[in-house]
Amino acid sequence: NAGVMQNPRHLVRRRGQEARLRCSPMKGHSHVYWYRQLPEEGLKFMVYLQKENIIDESGMPKERFSAEFPKEGPSILRIQQVVRGDSAAYFCASSRGQTDTQYFGPGTRLTVL
């Protein structure tokens, strides 16, 4: 059973470009969470999705950021018009049920030049 997969592992963008981060949950998991880890800071929750629905996006910036988890395919975290402050490691986690263990992917390290 493959773990949570994220791609790309490293992403470099120039200011103003778009970044698309993908996350494939573990098999049998329908709950997906995105977290961000800024340099020298702890992990912060961004958004929680369950197939085709956004359950909680209280941690997501109101502008430029969006997330989806379609019926088919991976979950996508999209950042439009990136700025240097978006440089961080973005982690995706998945779980089978709402109160089950969350398993984390290896992360996507975004660098904005």
Partner 1 sequence: KQEVTQIPAALSVPEGENLVLNCSFTDSAIYNLQWFRQDPGKGLTSLLLIQSSQREQTSGRLNASLDKSSGRSTLYIAASQPGDSATYLCAAPNSGNTPLVFGKGTRLSVIA
Is 74 among the residues that bind partner 1 (CB under 8 A)?
no
Burial class (CB in 10 A: 0-12, 13-18, 19+), 9: exposed
Could you say whether residue 1 binds partner 1 (CB under 8 A)? no
Which residues is 88 bridged to in the sheet?
110
Q: Is 105 in the site for partner 1 (CB under 8 A)?
A: yes
The reply on whether position 69 binds partner 1 by CB under 8 A is no
Among positions 33, 65, 69, 77, the unique one binding partner 1 when judged by CB under 8 A: 33
Quick check: 4 and 68 in contact, CB under 8 A?
A: no
The binding site for partner 1 (CB under 8 A) comprises 31, 33, 35, 41-45, 48, 55-56, 58-59, 91, 93, 95, 98-99, 101-107, 109
